[in-house]
């Protein structure tokens, strides 16, 4: 699989330095602590986690917005991590992005035409007329039209702005688009319009997506594979349906169980079982060993010693959890025995 | 982080109203004064009645007369002619010094602001050193190096004033470079120079323009000052500064000499500042222009005047805490009209009950919560309806009485706990303050109760946490504190506006459980405003669905999710991500939520509804008693769904 991967991330570390009083490098904080991921051409990887999990740091490292502090990000035949955010133009044009907030991701002083054609201006020698023609094509791709070219972002609704951002990301027909929470600032009725649009364009243009989101249910709809992050670690990875329907890692399960259901009765039952479980007051981050062990209902003495490696899971993918250590004879059966 | 666009629809109209009512006459006068200034500067030789240097010692220090309109100075020179020639100096001085300041300050400021690091550190230390010395001293030192004279003085002033441009440009770039659009530009591959000039510069133009006009004014004054102390324009040349200098020497003999140059300086500086404000608003980010209605949405006639509800008020319920009837909130528009944001809204909440107010952005749900508490901004007016809390109509109360109610009977919890708490005080002191002010507790008693409350909202080590500042707490923890503060006055109604939207799902779950437990213990009624139907399903007893400023459906939570009756509610439910298991295309509701003022005249959902018929062009009342729905086809559609 890794031979044909479009993007292959190995042992990626992303570190931020706080500022000391004089404005020099201060304390280090590892946002990503050795992540492995791969995306095949034309496929979508959903990267899920709560705030502070490091998912956006991975996105920023792939986009070259923050330097990697270790590991490799192989994209085609080049290592992006080694380039330290200075990507050559041909690589830069292959990786585009759509960000979360459509209200601040579009330059308020530029027209839609300027925004959509900016990648063409930077990367091609197209004439103004050619660029305009391409802009019209791009707007059609996202269900907007020529009449919108002269307008400014503030004249559009959130969903329409996100369409403009997508049109701009599609301008160079990239191989990979990083979607950083592309719909979480949008209304429910608009979210699905954008998800559908992204899905259709992916199949038409053969683009791969790295989809960053906090909502597993939403990611599940358009991802081929899902990776789940917790405090800088990828704790589970696997085919989308398997992760969503039979989550392996206890954290993935907790994440899924925490999403409120649309059915008030099912919600009531779930609440009752939650109450029955003993409350635990522990720090979120365990200093060593498994990062989740302080909140994990299955924590074992083993979990305190070492970081669990990735174990294969039935149905595909891996989970960084000793429950899946076949050698220890525990297998995944044990997790299923725990009442939901 | 999850963010949800707020329901604030009022900002744009207020701004545009201010502009529309602006003093066009004063602006024209300012423009005329500046045009005259430039005209006089260019054609000074032709216009001035006398040679400004020609002396006539016999006719010195004369008052204004037909021959000399503004009189003569100590050497008998015509004041008007000198004033006109002074215009030329003023224009050259202002132009030269301001351009130098701009050309030095802005590029360096942009560069160090964007690049940061060592460059920034070194340049800023130099600037701080320059700024810490009085400006006139710096100018004198530079002049001492360059020699005296107008142009050299202007170079000195340009260098001096460049520091303020530098700091301003750096400051705004520091803010702008964190904007997402700059990240987008970097992803596109734009070079640093391109990002600075093409992407950032246009957005920082407004403050730079203001700074430019302020600088022009300051340069005029500084030129006058330097000339006054003999370092600028040299006598006998005429500038406003040298004229003032002369006037000062003859203050006792002939005070009028100071008037012409003084008035000229004041008028010019005022005019430039005024014009600067106008230009800034013009090139601003476009937000000063009233936002046009949705580009994609079909235009509809302004909504017909909404008559106070024809629908019967909701049935009285046992133990009613809050009862709202026929609420209407409007915003004043630029043309003096009133645009409804909420119309014909009636609801009631009983003791121990949670009513969900659900809708997308622009539905008016947040505004409803604020209107109930009387917390809407000044541009908004509640024009109709009654808000009865515990038997008292809040709309009849004075401001003081309302404040009394807000502290004691109603409390509010907001979306973002980290901004709703004051960062300057410990969280415990913020709760204790409420207890002391509203309940008259002594300091120790208030603190003891505070710790008790913090313990009650499930925070471990409450005595220690009470001394923490808001930024030391996680989002979930801060929200618990905000809830503890809301509970401190033991309210009978709690308005919670998207209290879990900014939190992670696992934390959201804990906070929802907390609301439930506290309600069981304290028995307050909760008005829970949220955009998330699944959260509403979890926490609410009844749910009212809002769309475009009115309620479209209201039902018990089980009934609403099992059998939604309004097409909009159905659309929302099927659009929820967990609602469908299939791959895209996911179900959608076509179009966008219309903004206030673009609502369809009849049923406001009709332009997005798949079940629309001709009768939907009329206003549709909310029908039903316990279960209410605003759709004339609701009964037919149930049958259809059942088949």
* Residue ranges covered by each domain of chain B: 28-49+79-283
Tokens of B284: 């601003």
pLDDT of the residue at A278:
54
pLDDT (average), residues B503-526:
90
Judging by DSSP bridges, how do beta strands A225-230 and A233-239 pair with one another? antiparallel
Percent of chain A scoring above 90 in pLDDT:
46
pLDDT (average), residues B358-385:
84
Contact assignment for A191 to B186 by CB distance below 8 Å: no
Residue A327 pLDDT exceeds 80: no
Residue B336 pLDDT exceeds 80: no
Count, residues in chain A = 340
Q: Which of A57-66, B417-426, B572-581 has the lowest mean pLDDT?
A: B572-581
Which of B556, B577, B593 to probe the A interface (max A CBs under 10 A)?
B577
pLDDT (average), residues A139-156:
90
The answer to whether B114 and B200 have CB atoms below 8 angstroms apart is yes
Q: Residue B577: its chain A contacts at CB < 8 A?
A: 191, 215, 217-218, 220-221
Residue A230 C-alpha, separation from nearest chain B C-alpha, in angstroms: 12
Q: Residue B2: its chain A contacts at CB < 8 A?
A: 181, 184-185, 214
pLDDT (average), residues B219-246:
81
Residue B529 pLDDT exceeds 90: yes
| DSSP summary character for residue B264 | H
pLDDT (average), residues A228-246:
93
Can the peptide bond before residue B236 be classed as cis, meaning omega within 30 degrees of 0? yes
Computed over every residue of chain B, the mean pLDDT equals 83
Q: Which of A106-115, B17-26, B484-493 has the lowest mean pLDDT?
A: B17-26
Q: Which of B193, B190, B198, B202 is nearest to A168 (CA)?
A: B190
Query: What is the rounded distance in angstroms from the CA atom of residue A46 to the CA atom of residue A221?
Result: 10
pLDDT of the residue at B483:
92
Q: Residue A97: its chain B contacts at CB < 8 A?
A: 183-184, 187
pTM (2 decimals)? 0.81
Q: Residue B532: its chain A contacts at CB < 8 A?
A: 260
Query: What is the rounded distance in angstroms from the CA atom of residue B467 to the CA atom of residue B485?
Result: 14
* Residue whose structure tokens are 């009233």: B290
Residue B273 pLDDT exceeds 60: yes
pLDDT of the residue at B143:
82
Angle between helices A188-205 and A158-170 (to 10 degrees): 10
pLDDT band per the 50, 70, 90 thresholds, residue B306? very low
Largest interatomic CA distance in chain A: 68
Residue B365 pLDDT exceeds 60: yes
pLDDT of the residue at B524:
92
Largest interatomic CA distance in chain B: 111
Whole-complex ipTM: 0.85
Q: Which of A336-340, B192-196, B535-539 has the lowest mean pLDDT?
A: A336-340
pLDDT of the residue at A109:
87
Query: What is the rounded distance in angstroms from the CA atom of residue B36 to the CA atom of residue B460?
Result: 73
Contacts of B521 (CB under 8 A, 6+ apart): none
Choose between A29 and B167: higher pLDDT. Answer: B167
> Distances from the Cα of B250 to the Cαs of A23, A335, B57, B65, B247, in angstroms?
55, 99, 15, 19, 5
Which of A50, A109, A213, A285 to probe the B interface (max B CBs under 10 A)?
A109
pLDDT (average), residues B586-606:
85
Choose between B260 and B310: higher pLDDT. Answer: B260
pLDDT (average), residues B228-236:
77
pLDDT of the residue at A276:
67
pLDDT band per the 50, 70, 90 thresholds, residue A43? very high
Residue B187: Cβ within 10 Å count? 25
pLDDT of the residue at A329:
57
The answer to whether B243 and B83 have CB atoms below 8 angstroms apart is yes
Q: Which of A63, A65, A33 is nearest to A49 (CA)?
A: A33
Contacts of B449 (CB under 8 A, 6+ apart): B432, B435, B441, B488
The answer to whether A311 and A324 have CB atoms below 8 angstroms apart is yes
Contacts of B134 (CB under 8 A, 6+ apart): none
* Nearest neighbour of B189 by CB, restricted to A122, A147, A156: A122
Domains of chain A in sequence order: 40-67+87-243 (3.40.50.300), 248-337 (no CATH)
> Distances from the Cα of B446 to the Cαs of B87, B426, B466, B482, in angstroms?
68, 14, 12, 16
* A267-316 per-position pLDDT tens digit: 888 888 777 665 555 555 656 788 888 888 888 888 888 889 999 999 89
Percent of chain B scoring above 90 in pLDDT:
21
Residue B244 sits at φ, ψ, to 5 deg, of -65, -40
> Distances from the Cα of B619 to the Cαs of A273, B328, B347, B614, in angstroms?
46, 16, 19, 12
Query: What is the rounded distance in angstroms from the CA atom of residue B221 to the CA atom of residue A150?
Result: 43
Residue B393 sits at φ, ψ, to 5 deg, of -80, 115
Sign of the dihedral through C-alpha A28, A32, A255, A183? positive
Q: Which of A29, A20, A10 is nearest to A80 (CA)?
A: A10
Tokens of B340: 């409804």
Contacts of B640 (CB under 8 A, 6+ apart): none
Can the peptide bond before residue B585 be classed as cis, meaning omega within 30 degrees of 0? yes
Query: What is the rounded distance in angstroms from the CA atom of residue B393 to the CA atom of residue B593?
Result: 32
Query: What is the rounded distance in angstroms from the CA atom of residue B531 to the CA atom of residue B545?
Result: 10
CATH dotted code for B28-49+79-283: 1.10.3720.10
One DSSP character per residue, A77-96 reads TEETGGGTT---HHHHTTEE
pLDDT of the residue at B18:
43
pLDDT band per the 50, 70, 90 thresholds, residue A99? very high
Residue A325 C-alpha, separation from nearest chain B C-alpha, in angstroms: 27
Q: Residue B579: its chain A contacts at CB < 8 A?
A: 262
End-to-end CA distance of chain A: 34
Contact assignment for B577 to A100 by CB distance below 8 Å: no
Residue B59 sits at φ, ψ, to 5 deg, of -105, 50
SS3 at position A195: helix
Tokens of B63: 């008052």
CA triplet B85, B86, B92: central angle to 5 degrees?
100
pLDDT of the residue at B49:
85
Strand partners, B392: B389
Query: What is the rounded distance in angstroms from the CA atom of residue B484 to the CA atom of residue A13?
Result: 39
Contact assignment for A281 to B579 by CB distance below 8 Å: no
């Amino acid at each position: 699989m890794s031979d044909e991967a479009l993007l292959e991330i190995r042992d990626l570390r992303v570190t931020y330095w706080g500022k000391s009083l004089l404005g020099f490098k201060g304390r280090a904080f590892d946002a990503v602590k050795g992540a492995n991921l791969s995306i095949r051409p034309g496929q979508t990887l959903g990267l899920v986690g709560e705030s502070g999990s490091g998912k956006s740091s991975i996105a920023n490292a792939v986009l070259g917005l923050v330097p990697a502090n270790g590991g490799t990000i192989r994209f085609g035949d080049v290592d992006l991590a080694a380039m330290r955010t200075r990507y050559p133009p041909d690589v830069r044009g292959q990786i585009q992005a759509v960000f979360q907030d459509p209200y601040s991701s579009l330059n308020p002083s530029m027209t839609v035409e300027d925004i959509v054609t900016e990648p063409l201006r930077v990367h091609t020698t197209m004439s103004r007329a050619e660029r305009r023609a391409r802009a019209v094509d791009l707007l059609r791709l996202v269900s907007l039209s020529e009449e919108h070219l002269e307008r400014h972002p503030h004249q559009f609704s959130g969903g329409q702005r996100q369409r403009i951002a997508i049109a701009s990301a599609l301008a160079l027909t990239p191989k990979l688009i990083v979607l950083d929470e592309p719909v979480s600032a949008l209304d429910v009725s608009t979210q699905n319009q954008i998800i559908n649009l992204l899905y259709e364009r992916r199949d038409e243009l053969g683009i791969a997506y790295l989809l960053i989101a906090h909502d597993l249910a939403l990611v599940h709809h358009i991802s081929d594979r899902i990776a789940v992050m917790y405090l800088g670690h990828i704790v589970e990875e696997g085919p989308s349906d398997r992760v969503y329907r039979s989550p392996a890692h206890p954290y993935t399960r907790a994440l899924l169980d925490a999403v409120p259901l649309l059915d008030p009765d099912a919600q009531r039952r779930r609440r009752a079982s939650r109450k029955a479980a003993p409350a635990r007051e522990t720090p979120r981050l365990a200093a060593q060993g498994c990062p989740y062990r302080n909140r994990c209902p299955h924590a074992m003495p083993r979990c305190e010693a070492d970081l669990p490696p990735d174990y294969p899971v039935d149905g595909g993918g891996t989970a960084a959890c000793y429950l899946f250590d076949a050698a220890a004879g525990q297998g995944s059966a044990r997790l299923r025995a725990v009442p939901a | 982080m999850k963010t949800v666009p707020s329901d604030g629809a009022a900002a744009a109209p207020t701004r545009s109203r201010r502009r529309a009512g602006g003093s066009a006459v004063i602006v024209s006068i300012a423009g005329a004064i500046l045009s005259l200034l430039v005209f006089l500067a260019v054609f000074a030789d032709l216009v001035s009645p006398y040679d400004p240097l020609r002396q006539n010692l016999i006719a010195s220090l004369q008052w204004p007369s037909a021959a000399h309109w503004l009189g003569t100075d100590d050497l008998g020179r015509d004041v008007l002619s000198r004033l006109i020639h002074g215009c030329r100096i003023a224009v050259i001085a202002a132009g030269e010094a301001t351009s130098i300041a701009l050309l030095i300050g802005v590029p360096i400021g942009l560069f160090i602001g964007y690049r940061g690091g060592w460059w920034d550190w070194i340049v800023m230390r130099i600037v701080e050193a320059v700024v810490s010395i009085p400006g006139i001293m710096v100018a004198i030192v530079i002049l001492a190096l360059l020699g005296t004279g107008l142009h050299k003085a202007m170079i000195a002033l340009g260098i001096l004033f460049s520091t303020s441009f530098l700091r301003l440009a750096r400051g705004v770039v520091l803010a702008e470079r964190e904007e997402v659009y700059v990240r987008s530009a970097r992803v596109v591959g734009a070079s640093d120079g391109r990002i600075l000039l093409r992407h950032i510069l246009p957005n920082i133009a407004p403050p730079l323009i203001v700074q430019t006009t302020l600088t022009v004014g300051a340069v005029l004054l500084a030129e006058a000052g330097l000339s006054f102390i003999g370092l600028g324009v040299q006598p006998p040349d005429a500038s406003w500064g040298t004229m003032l200098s002369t006037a000062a020497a003859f203050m006792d003999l002939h005070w009028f000499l100071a008037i012409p140059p003084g008035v000229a300086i004041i008028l010019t500086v005022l005019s430039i500042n005024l014009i600067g404000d106008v230009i800034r608003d013009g090139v601003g980010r476009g937000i000063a222009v009233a936002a046009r209605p949705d580009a994609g949405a079909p235009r509809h006639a302004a909504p017909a005047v909404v008559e106070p509800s024809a629908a019967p008020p909701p049935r009285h319920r046992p133990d009613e805490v809050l009862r709202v009837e026929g609420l209407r909130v409007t915003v004043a528009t630029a043309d003096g009209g009133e645009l409804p944001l909420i119309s014909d809204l009636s609801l009631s909440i009983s003791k121990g009950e949670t009513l969900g107010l659900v809708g997308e952005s622009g539905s008016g749900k947040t505004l409803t919560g604020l209107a109930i508490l009387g917390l809407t901004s000044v541009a908004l007016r509640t024009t109709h309806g009654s808000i009865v809390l515990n038997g008292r109509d809040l709309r009849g109360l004075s401001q003081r009485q309302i404040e009394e109610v807000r502290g004691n009977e109603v409390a509010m919890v907001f979306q973002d706990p980290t901004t709703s708490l004051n960062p300057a005080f410990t969280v415990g002191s913020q709760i204790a303050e409420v207890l002391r002010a509203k309940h008259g507790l002594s300091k120790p008693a208030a603190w003891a109760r505070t710790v008790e409350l913090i313990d009650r909202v499930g925070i471990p080590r409450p005595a220690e946490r009470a001394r923490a500042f808001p930024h030391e707490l996680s989002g979930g923890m801060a929200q618990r504190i905000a809830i503890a503060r809301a509970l401190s006055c033991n309210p009978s109604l709690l308005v919670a506006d998207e209290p879990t939207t900014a939190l992670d799902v696992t934390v959201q779950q804990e906070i929802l459980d907390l609301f439930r437990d506290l309600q069981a213990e304290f028995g307050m009624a909760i008005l829970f405003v949220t955009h998330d139907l699944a959260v509403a399903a979890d926490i609410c007893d009844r749910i009212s669905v809002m769309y475009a400023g009115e309620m479209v459906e209201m039902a018990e939570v089980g009934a609403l999710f099992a059998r939604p009756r309004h097409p909009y509610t159905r659309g929302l439910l099927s659009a929820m991500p967990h609602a469908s298991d299939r791959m895209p295309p996911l179900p959608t509701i076509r179009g966008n939520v219309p903004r206030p003022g673009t609502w369809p005249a009849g049923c406001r959902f009709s332009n997005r509804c798949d079940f629309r018929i001709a009768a939907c062009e009329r206003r549709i009342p909310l029908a039903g008693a316990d279960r209410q729905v605003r759709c004339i086809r609701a009964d037919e559609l149930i049958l259809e769904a059942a088949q």
